Amino acid sequence: RKEVEQDPGPFNVPEGATVAFNCTYSNSASQSFFWYRQDCRKEPKLLMSVYSSGNEDGRFTAQLNRASQYISLLIRDSKLSDSATYLCVVTTPGSARQLTFGSGTQLTVLP
């Protein structure tokens, strides 16, 4: 079983749609949680951190459920520029700040 699992998609949605991505993680000791965005053939970039209380950044809302080991990302009013792969990322305690990535969910926003 992978440490971080995501629905690979692809998700093809029209502009203006609301889309939700889900992610589960297997290590209950995981401590920090993030969503990264990766454009085609580019490096991953931090989209937002995820907190237990839930957090919002403009059109993006992230939620964490530690009991279910579940992370979500909601994108409202999708824009063409949101087209990318969204990577769910967790860190676990240890000597290294190792980021453990899911395989990513591909989103295409259609005009």
Partner 1 sequence: ETGVTQSPTHLIKTRGQQVTLRCSSQSGHNTVSWYQQALGQGPQFIFQYYREEENGRGNFPPRFSGLQFPNYSSELNVNALELDDSALYLCASSTGTALNTEAFFGQGTRLTVV
Residues that bind partner 1 (CB under 8 A): 4, 8, 31-32, 41-46, 49, 87, 89, 91, 93-104
Least Å distance between CB 64 and partner 1?
14
Of residues 17 and 92, the one with the C-beta less far from partner 1? 92
Distance between CA atoms of residues 90 and 72, nearest Å: 13
Q: Which DSSP letter does residue 80 get?
A: G
Three-state DSSP at 96 gives: coil
Query: Using CB atoms within 10 A of its CB, is residue 72 exposed (0-12), middle (13-18) or buried (19+)?
Result: middle
Query: Using CB atoms within 10 A of its CB, is residue 105 exposed (0-12), middle (13-18) or buried (19+)?
Result: buried
Of residues 78 and 85, the one with the C-beta less far from partner 1? 85
Of residues 49 and 108, the one with the C-beta less far from partner 1? 49
Least Å distance between CB 78 and partner 1?
22
Least Å distance between CB 7 and partner 1?
13
